[in-house]
Structure 1
Amino acid sequence: MINFAVIGTGWITDSFIQSAHATKSWKLTAVYSRKEATAKEFGAKYDVTTVHTTLGSLANDASIAVVYIASPNSLHYSQAKEILSAKKHVILEKPATSTVAEFEEIYALAKEKGVFLIEANRHIQEANFKVLQKNLSRLGQIYGASLTYASYSSRYNNVLAGEVPNIFNLDYSGGCLVDIGVYPLNFAVALLGKPESQTYKPVITKTGADGGGFIVLNYDSFGVQINQSKCYSSTAPSEVYGEKGTISVNATTDIDRISFLDAKTKKTEELAQKKVEFNLMEEAAEFARIIEQGDKEAAQKLEEMSRIVIGITTDLRTQNGIVFGVEKEGQSSSRLGVKTDEEPVVDAPEVGAGAS
């Protein structure tokens, strides 16, 4: 088993631990939190008694091989940098970093130290996403796609009340584009490759962060429309259109329905497989395989996809004047007053929204 520790004690961390344990390849051995009581309470759920209240202590724990980081976006870079410097593998919740410069620096550091750095885009590891990939050729020439992930966030109620929750706080590198939009963006890039250009028409919230909106990815001979939001919901499916038919899925993540509509016969074929018990289980299994087998080629492919996506989101933010706190005169999170706590920046799933 791979001994791992976690930074972050929110719902997404629970989900990863449960999924990782279900693969039988991982064992949680330590928990990090600035507050010892918080770390002990969280660890007790998994019979883990080893806790760390400083990153230095965590980095120097020789019993740990991998650290899973699910802290606020603005902290990913500094925390990953310290853990990687100690020659430990890092699984980093999306978005990996706030900026392209941060991204390139920590990936270069991982290579220098001989360890893996993997951004946790779990939906592209799902069995049903791979079914979709396998059947894409049945469409013939691609004519376009319409991808949806729009789910009203309970935190948007706070925004409407005049508050600034982390996920809508630019000092925490928040906003819908990097929280929700990265799901359909990774979906598109993994399925169709890198677009030639992109545009974004966002809804800008009272906090200055984007609450959602429409993205258009421009490919050589077709376009992809993405409807993503945390300030409204959509029940629309996601579809890929081609000369020979249309493939429709219920969502861009947690796919449990895939249908192929033949353009000529008008007949529909259902393709989906049964989903696994835990929705992060497939990514946990693949990340364990990469680490255990030292599969640099697979890791490089994931890195390149992450590089493309952060390039897209950075361009889309730049187009709309959305600037993170860490980008203002090179300020660090600490100078901006951002606390190094572990409150997650990703909301829990919204029921009935057709999202994850």
Structure 2
Amino acid sequence: MRLGIIGTNFITDKLLEAAAHLEEVQTAAVYSRTQEKADEFAGKHGISLTYTDLEAFAASDEIDAVYIASPNALHYSQAVLCMRNGKHVLCEKPLASNYREAAEMFRIAEEEGVVLLEAIKSLFMPGFEEIRENLHKIGKVRRYVGNYCKFSSRYEAYRKGEVLNAFKRELSNGALMDLGVYGIYPMVTLFGTPSSTRATGVLLETGVDGEGTAFFQYDDMEGVVSFSKIHNSYAPSEIQGEEGSIVIPDISTPEGMTIRYRDGSVEELPGTLSKPSMYGELKAFTNMVQEGNLSESSAAAPEHSLETACLMEEVRKQIGVVFPADA
């Protein structure tokens, strides 16, 4: 599979670390808005083809599939362009700015007969599979807690008056989109669609959320997801059942987990990574492309991506975050 790259930031470096462990993946091309950045990235990773014209990149016969790691607001248009040119797409989370865009992306993928997969790394890690396989041990689940609060280095710049991409409303950014998705997506995958949603948060001057908390009601349990880019939290995430709880130190990278039973006993769920953190999602995507399986994944199935997009849009609405893409 000849892979083209859109986006030359640190997350793309991590994907290419994973690609080095997959013989069936060849990184063939990179797109950047400037030739200087394209050349720099290509030189660092030994990529032969560079593009500054996105349409030429999407139309290239040298590319079979594309990894998109551009700002959130660009995911939709770039993915659609690539899929209309017959390219499979692995798109960074969040898949799109809103539910409407996400639904249209999957519709076009089906129409063009290509794979579209949302790249949420945590769901493709060994630790998430361990959670799923051991969930029955804690009895009836009564509460899911997804907590991801991390002070952003870009917020330090924001406090000094410099607004970087992470806090730009026009790029469909903010704490929910960047970090909250890590709490909401696994909840949807494990427990399905909640019956109601309530959310609160702190709006910054740019119109994006700096932090927030969302409450999700199910018939017999509840979900609580906290997210922030303006302060840290050192509390773990948890799945709380009647017979015990699964404690997850880092919801974005499920490793080193434990089951703590009511009787005081503890069971380790190491979820140890033996390969780079993005290996699982790239391997799943590659398998889908090679096997012609356009709509199924063991973790990030289309219906999970769409439900997550729907919930995140409702959370934004209640907090008061409106993107230009929503118009």
Find the aligned partners of 2:94 and 2:240 in 1 and give their Cα distance: 28
- Following superposition, the deviation at residue 248 of structure 1 comes to 0.8
Contact 2:124 2:280 in 1 (8 A): yes
In 2 relative to 1, CA 28–114 (structure 1 residues): closer, same or farther, beyond 3 Å? Answer: same
Scaled by the length of structure 1, the TM-score of the pair is 0.88
Which residue number in structure 2 is paired with residue 283 of structure 1?
281
The residue number in structure 1 matching 2:251 is 252
Does the alignment pair 1:232 with 2:241? Answer: no
Question: RMSD in angstroms over aligned alpha carbons?
Answer: 1.4
Q: TM-score under structure 2 normalisation?
A: 0.96
Q: Is the 8 A contact 1:159 1:206 kept in 2?
A: no
Aligned partner letter, 1:149: Y
Cα offset, 1:297, TM superposition: 4.8
Q: Aligned residue pairs: how many? A: 326
Offset, 1:123: 0.5
The 1-side partners of 2:188 and 2:318 are apart by 20
Give the conservation status (yes or no) of the 8 Å contact 1:159–1:207.
no
Matched, 1:214 2:213: yes
Contact 1:138 1:244 in 2 (8 A): yes
Counterpart code for 1:322: V
- What amino acid sits opposite 1:93 in the alignment? E
Q: Which residue does 1:314 correspond to in 2?
A: 313
Per-residue CA deviation, residues 295-323 of structure 1 (Å, 9 max, x unaligned), is 23524961110100110011111122211
Matches within 5 A, 1:128-167: 128-167=127-166
Matches within 5 A, 1:35-114: 35-114=34-113
Cα distance in structure 2, aligned partners of 1:174 and 1:256? 27
**CA distance 1:113–1:3, shift in 2 (3 Å):** same
- The answer to whether the Cα contact below 8 Å between 2:151 and 2:229 also exists between their aligned partners in 1 is yes
Paired with 2:260 and 2:113, the residues of 1 have a C-alpha distance of 46
1:339 corresponds in structure 2 to none
Secondary structure (helix, strand or coil) at the match of 1:157 reads helix
**What letter is aligned with 2:311?**
I
Percent identity (aligned)? 33
Q: What is the CA–CA distance in structure 2 between the aligned matches of 1:102 and 1:152, rounded to whole Å?
A: 29
Rounded to whole Å, the distance in 1 between the matches of 2:142 and 2:325 is: 39
Listed one character per residue, the Cα deviations across residues 11-49 of structure 1 (whole Å, up to 9, x for unaligned) are 001111111221323110101012112111101112112
Secondary structure, aligned partner of 1:296: coil
Amino acid paired to 1:115? V
Structure 1: 4+ residue segments shifted above 4 A: none
Counterpart amino acid of 2:82?
A: I
Counterpart residue number, 2:25: 26
Alignment-mate amino acid for residue 176 of structure 1: A
Counterpart-to-counterpart distance in 2, 1:139 and 1:44: 50
Residues 276 and 253 of structure 1: CA distance in aligned 2, closer, same or farther (over 3 Å): farther
d(CA) in 1 for partners of 2:179, 2:286? 25
Alignment partner of 1:34: what SS? coil
Q: Which residue of 2 aligns with 1:175?
A: 174
> What do residues 144-196 of structure 1 show as CA deviations (whole Å, max 9, x unaligned)?
12221110001111222233221111111111111110001112111222211
Give the deviation of 1:271 after TM superposition: 1.8
Deviations, residues 306-351 of structure 1 (Å, cap 9, x unaligned): 1001100111111222110222xx4xxxxxxxxxxxxxxxxxxxxx
